[in-house]
Amino acid sequence: MRRLAWDHNAHHQRLLLRALPRSCGRVLEVGCGAGALAVRLAARADHVDAVDSSAAMVAAARARAPSNVRVLHDDVLALELAPGSYDAVVSLTALHHLPLEPALRHLAAALRPGGVLAVVALPAKDLPRELPVELAAAAAARLVGLALAAGRVLGWHGRRSGDPASAGMPVRDAELTVREVRRRAAEVLPGVRVRRLLFWRYSLVWHRPGAAG
């Protein structure tokens, strides 16, 4: 079955890229890991600050980052972020490493009016309520794994096949279900949208009120 495993984080990069404003000057990526998303963000933005608290991940990200990406080795909550200084703050599978409300307040304050906070993170399982979606995810993940395995036989290696630079990436189990994230996030960021995604993730999107994005 390991041969059918694939990279769920890489799969969700596109969703975050789609959430970016059309004109994107400065982007902050939180928990950049080995930098795969930062490289793609760099093609869409003038400047990317990518932060991670793991020295190994920062080294891997720096090794591949183009010149408009600054990789910072720090705890994002300890970083002084100038208020209103980013057009977008994005994060892929890292928000559940942080205390939710303080993290949302810290990141939201760094957005310019009209800017977007776009997050994909890991939820805790919510059973039995989410049993149907868990079963659908397991079946669909097998199908995707089979398609990727067939592609590899034909010599095609897509992003979802995995990123060797991510070996040893810090991971953490989630404590909050999607319902809990939705309720708690709405108290901090009125108007936030939190959606369960099929492949064991949720998305959280919030636009800072103000100028058009």
- Which residues lie near ligand SAM (CB under 6 A)? 9, 31-33, 51-54, 57, 75-77, 92-94, 97-98, 166, 169-171
Q: Residue 46 or 74: which CB sits closer to ligand SAM?
A: 74
**Contact predicate 3/146, CB 8 Å:** no
Report in angstroms how near the CB of residue 133 gets to ligand SAM at its nearest. 21
Spatial neighbors of 190 by CB under 8 A, at least 6 apart, are none
If DSSP codes are grouped into helix, strand and coil, which group holds residue 194?
A: strand
Q: Residue 129 or 172: which CB sits closer to ligand SAM?
A: 172
Structure tokens that stand for 191 in this block: 């108007």
Report in angstroms how near the CB of residue 107 gets to ligand SAM at its nearest. 11
Q: Residue 68 or 166: which CB sits closer to ligand SAM?
A: 166
Report in angstroms how near the CB of residue 78 gets to ligand SAM at its nearest. 8
Strands 201-207 and 111-121, how do they pair? antiparallel
**Contact predicate 200/137, CB 8 Å:** yes
Q: Residue 9 or 155: which CB sits closer to ligand SAM?
A: 9
